[in-house]
Structure 1
Amino acid sequence: MYIMCVSIVVLPLFIVPLTSQNSSIFVPSHDWQEVLPDHTIPPGLHVRQNIRTKYTEAKSIDKSSNVTDIISDGLENSLVNLSAYLRAGGAEKLNNDSATRFRPYEELMEDFQKINMNVKTDVEIMSELVMEIKQGNSTVERLLILLEDLSYYLHQIDNSKVFSESGFDLLTYHLRHPSYEVVKAALKAIGAATQGNSDVKVVALQGGVLDHLHSILKASINKQNSSKFSTLLLSGVSALSSLLRDFPSAQKQFFSASGLSPTGFELLAQLSHLNTLDANRDLRVRILTFLTDLYSERLGALSAFEKDPVDAKKYIWNLYASIPFEEKFLMHGFCETLRSSLLQDVQEGIEGNDLSIPTNHDIREKVITACLKFFNLCDWASLDYSNKQHIQSLLDSLIREYKLRSRSETNDIDSYFTDMLLKAQKLRSMVASNGFPKSDL
Structure 2
Amino acid sequence: MSHWAGLLSTAAKVNLLVLVVSAVFSQSSLSDRVPEFALTKIEESDIKDDSGKEPITEDDADPEDLEVFYPTHQWQTVRPGQAVPAGSHVRLNLQTGDREAKLPDSENGRSDTREERRRKRLGKVDVDSNSFTSQELKKALAKMKETEKAERKVDNAKDFLSMGGLQLVIDGLNSTEAVLKEHAAFVLGSALSSNPKVQIEAIEGGALQKLLVILATEQPLSVKKKALFALSSMLRHFPYAQQQFLKLGGLQVLRSLFRQKGMETLHVRVVTLLYDLIVEKMLLEDSQHGDQMEEKIQQYRQVKLVPAVVEQDWCVVVSNLLAMPEHDTREKVLKTVGVLMAFCKERFRGDQALSTTLSLLRSEYEELAAEEQREGDKDGYFKELLGSVNTIIQELR
Per the normalisation by structure 1, the TM-score is: 0.53
Following superposition, the deviation at residue 395 of structure 1 comes to: 3.3
2:353 equivalent to 1:362: no
Amino acid at match of 2:396: N
Give the match for residue 233 of structure 1.
224
Distance of 2:294 and 2:310 partners within structure 1: 26
CA–CA distance in structure 2, aligned partners of residues 408 and 205 of structure 1: 52
Give the deviation of 1:173 after TM superposition: 2.1
Map 1:241-260 onto structure 2 (within 5 A).
241-256=232-247, 260=248
Q: What SS is found at the alignment partner of 1:166? A: helix
Alpha-carbon distance change, 399 to 377 in structure 1, aligned in 2, over 3 angstroms? farther
Show the 5 A alignment for 1:375-390: 375-379=341-345, 382-385=349-352, 387-390=354-357
1:31-430 aligned within 5 A: 136=13, 138=15, 145-146=22-23, 148-149=25-26, 155-157=153-155, 160-161=158-159, 163-218=161-216, 220=217, 223=218, 229-256=220-247, 260=248, 263-271=249-257, 273-276=258-261, 279-304=262-287, 307-308=288-289, 310-343=290-323, 346-347=324-325, 360-379=326-345, 382-385=349-352, 387-404=354-371, 418-419=380-381, 421-430=383-392
> Which structure has the larger Rg?
1
Residues 294/385 of structure 1: CA separation in 2 closer, same or farther (3 Å cut): closer
Distance 1:179 1:383 in 2: 46
**Cα distance in 2 for residues equivalent to 1:303 and 1:295:** 12
Give the deviation of 1:204 after TM superposition: 1.6
Describe the shift of the 1:137–1:192 C-alpha distance in structure 2 as closer, same or farther (beyond 3 A).
Answer: closer
Percent identical among aligned pairs is 20
CA contact 1:154–1:192 (8 Å) conserved in 2? no
CA distance in 2, matches of 1:197, 1:155: 15
For residues 432 and 198 of structure 1, the distance between their equivalents in structure 2, rounded to whole angstroms, comes to 41
Post-superposition offset of 1:145: 4.5
How many angstroms apart in 2 are the aligned matches of 1:140 and 1:173? 9
Structure 1 residues 162 and 173, CA gap change in structure 2 (3 angstroms): closer
State the 1:424 CA deviation. Answer: 3.4
Q: Tell me, which stretches of 5 or more residues in structure 1 are unaligned?
A: 1-132, 348-359, 436-441
CA offsets per residue over residues 347-376 of structure 1, 9 Å max, x none?
Answer: 1xxxxxxxxxxxx34322222221222222
Aligned residues: 266
**Over residues 101-123 of structure 1, what are the superposed CA-to-partner deviations in whole Å (9 max), with x where a residue is unaligned?**
xxxxxxxxxxxxxxxxxxxxxxx
Q: In the alignment, what sits opposite 1:22?
A: none
Local SS of the residue matching 2:263: helix
- Name the amino acid aligned to 1:335: C
Q: Secondary structure at the match of 1:378?
A: helix
Distance 1:402 1:237, change over 3 A: farther
TM-score by length of 2: 0.59
After TM superposition, give the deviation of residue 407 of structure 1 in Å.
6.9
Q: Is the 8 A contact 1:194 1:243 kept in 2?
A: yes
CA contact (8 A) 1:392 1:428 kept: no
The alignment's C-alpha RMSD in Å is 3.3
Quickly say closer, same or farther: Cα 1:201–1:157, change in 2 above 3 A: farther
> Does the aligned pair in 2 maintain the 1:160–1:193 contact within 8 Å?
yes
8 A Cα contact 1:399 1:425, kept in partner? no
Encode CA deviations 1:125-175: one digit per residue, 9 max, x unaligned. xxxxxxxx9954749997875575498677544761452341111112222
